[in-house]
Amino acid sequence: MPTSYSDTYFPVLVQIVIAVIVAAALVAISFLLGKHVKNRVKDSPYESGIAPTGSARERFSVKFYLVAIVFILFDIEAVFLYPWAVVYRELKLFGFGEMLVFVILILVGFFYVWKKGALDWSHEAPGDSPYGDPDAAPQSSVTKNAA
Amino acid sequence: MPANFAPSAADYLRILPEIIMTVAGVLIMLLEGWLGENKKRNLSVQTFVAFAAALVSAVAANGNPGLSFSNMLIVDGFATFFRVLVIAVGILSLFSATQYLKREHAESSEYYALLLFSVTGQCIMATANELIMIFIGLEISSIATYVLAGYLRDDKRNNEAALKYFLLGSFATAFLLYGIAWIYGTTGSTNLSTIRIALLTPGSETNVILAGTAAALMFVGFAFKVSAAPFQIWAPDVYQGAPAPVTLFMSAGPKAAAFAVFLRVFMTAFGPITSRWEPFVWSSALLTMIIGNFAALMQTNIKRLLAYSSIANAGYVMVAIAADSQIGVAAAMFYLAAYAFMNIGAFAVVTHFSRQGEKFVNVEDLAGLGWKQPVTAALFSIFLLSLIGVPLTGGFFGKFYIFKAALDANLVWLTVLGLLNSAVAAYYYLRILVVMYMKEPGEATLSLQPVGVGIAATLWISAVGTLVLGIFPSVVLNFATASSALVK
């Protein structure tokens, strides 16, 4: 039975060492045995995949971020609801009250987001599409500078 | 057997200030959603009422001190001191913000809601008796402040400030959280008293090394929040870029609350391993004072100058922490109160003077202010003299008590170097006075409008506070001394 810290964590250390050796070995073997061919196809991100159509550093509509943030709001709510449901019987009315306060606060946030129009995808100025303007030139100046 | 979690009425009374401010903030957000964009409204009065009610209930809560919510929170003199301080800071920054928001055409109620939430977080930090509560309070306070720093979202400087503050702040919080994880792994608890007992009982040497590592990690998190070197790099950029009333708030409220948890954690939980963290705090205090003061010498932008001054002031408080004594805690409390008043006053002048779009933020722009607006200039002089540490101001007694505590703790060299630093600091504060009184009024001064009601209230309250602390220091010091015993 391991008692001290070093006894408990020694297997972890062994695993770290093995992981480092394996990783280093994989890189080293492919470097030593592999052929070194340099050309456009080899250097592309997905050699056997779909040909890239442009830079990934495009501008995205800020709405994506808003939706992502609102998603986190409800995600967190769900995370808290699970453990709460498990111990609900023991907490009784107190637990109900606490969760009620929590859910109400979340709903206030949701109401605020809704009224502020963060969920509104339909009222858009022309050229403000979340997917970018389809008629615009494929390479914007921003993308060029970034490349 | 199920544990009884149900809190008593006393528990709720002890966190009434937080409840009031949260409810007020939530109502403001509901109202904002309900009424929509069209209706002009000003919710500063409602915010003020909420702050005032919170202030009263914070004072009232001190009448029945004790632990609450299964030892998660503690209401004692120390907590009350800092709760009153941060709520007062909230009120003063509310006063100075209303006019600013109108000037920048950014009157919206979110500002008030964020201010309320931020102060709520700081109150939780002040009362927290538990590392998880400290973390939650810190996050509530910080996240609201990140948003406030970028409040004028079309302003590039605001955006830069908010992004820098957010990225670096989250990084520092991660250190704090990692430290909490380490101490939990070492002692099996996040409760400050339990950690203390675990570290006091003689155990294996490994245990103490791990606790020392935890203390170092948490030191990084706290040092960032109080802008102590070498984690102060964000402060000048953020203070300069954020809206002036937000800078006013950031440099006083979150800083005081961060020092409150810094003191409580290191004096109680890490009290038994003082020898391990004291060298860190000692060297950080020295470095903070030197970097703050010497960098301030070269600043031309007044917000940036005051930001470095704020860093230097954090250094003085770190000296008090390095002293590691009850007198040190009391001195730090007193200094933070004095610092809040004089710093808020100075930033209120900047808020007033900078005009729309913060056009005039250079020290040279203040030329001739002493002749154009003698009262404003006189009040500004009080704050600057207090920052220098001239007698009859709060800053003098603050520094006096801190260096006395340091001497009592045999930190002679730190005291000497700190005093030398104060002498250096006099130069850049006096430079502002010289510009105000001995230069011909320029374009910036001549076009200056009279002081509005909100700013005037902030200036006068801060000036009275600074002078009261300087003339009758015992009023606050007695309370601070009585509540400086953090180990119960």
**pLDDT tens for residues A59-94?**
878 888 888 888 888 888 889 889 999 888 888 888
d(CA B285, CA B174): 22
**Partners of A131 in the beta sheet?**
none
d(CA A74, CA A78): 6
Average pLDDT over residues A92-120: 87
Q: What is the pLDDT of residue A17?
A: 96
Q: Which of B79, B69, B64, B72 is nearest to B263 (CA)?
A: B79
Residue A111 has its nearest CB partner, among B2, B33, B204, at: B33
Determine, for residues A115 and B204 on separate chains, whether the beta-carbon distance falls below 8 Å.
Answer: no
- Distance from the Cα of B214 to chain A's closest Cα (Å) equals 16
**pLDDT tens for residues B460-486?**
999 999 999 999 999 899 999 999 888
**pLDDT tens for residues B179-224?**
999 999 888 889 999 898 888 886 655 678 888 999 999 999 999 9
Determine, for residues A91 and B29 on separate chains, whether the beta-carbon distance falls below 8 Å.
Answer: no
> Is the residue at B9 inside a domain?
no
Q: Is the pLDDT of residue B152 over 80?
A: yes
DSSP string, B65-122: -EEETTTTEEESHHHHHHHHHHHHHHHHHHHHHHHHHHHTT---THHHHHHHHHHHHH
Q: Is the pLDDT of residue B82 over 90?
A: yes
Query: Which of B30, B31, B187, B208 is the best mutation test for A, with the most CBs of A within 10 A?
Result: B30
Q: Is the pLDDT of residue A51 over 80?
A: no
Determine, for residues B30 and A111 on separate chains, whether the beta-carbon distance falls below 8 Å.
Answer: yes
Q: Is the pLDDT of residue A132 over 60?
A: no
Domain boundary assignment for chain A = 5-38, 62-115
**pLDDT tens for residues B320-329?**
999 989 999 9
Q: Which of B99, B95, B93 is nearest to B118 (CA)?
A: B93
A142: pLDDT confidence band, cut at 50, 70 and 90?
very low
> Is the residue at B1 inside a domain?
no
Q: Which residue has the higher pLDDT, A137 or B30?
A: B30
Closest-CA residue in chain B for A106?
B26
Q: Which of B373, B374, B372, B396 is nearest to B384 (CA)?
A: B396
Q: Touching check for B154 and chain A: CB below 8 Å?
A: no
B8-27 core/surface letters (b: 16 or more CB in 10 A; e: else): eeebebbbbbbebbbebbbb
**Structure tokens, A87:** 């111990």
- The residue segments making up the domain with residue B49 are 15-482
**pLDDT tens for residues B23-43?**
999 999 898 888 876 665 678
**Number of domains chain B contains:** 1
Evaluate whether B294 touches B305 at the Cβ level (below 8 Å). no
pTM for the structure as a whole: 0.87
Average pLDDT over residues B391-398: 93
**Partners of B73 in the beta sheet?**
B68, B128
d(CA B316, CA B289): 7
d(CA A40, CA B387): 64
Q: What is the pLDDT of residue B121?
A: 96
d(CA B126, CA B469): 22
- Distance from the Cα of B371 to chain A's closest Cα (Å) equals 47
The ipTM is 0.80
d(CA B475, CA B361): 36
> Is the residue at B5 inside a domain?
no
Determine, for residues B5 and A94 on separate chains, whether the beta-carbon distance falls below 8 Å.
Answer: yes
Residue B206 has its nearest CB partner, among A5, A94, A114, at: A5
Backbone φ and ψ for B447, nearest 5 degrees, come out as -90, 10
Determine, for residues B30 and A4 on separate chains, whether the beta-carbon distance falls below 8 Å.
Answer: no
Determine, for residues B30 and A91 on separate chains, whether the beta-carbon distance falls below 8 Å.
Answer: no
Closest-CA residue in chain B for A114?
B33
Residue A105 has its nearest CB partner, among B5, B26, B206, at: B26
Determine, for residues A109 and B33 on separate chains, whether the beta-carbon distance falls below 8 Å.
Answer: no
Task: Tell how far CA B137 is from the center of its chain.
Answer: 14
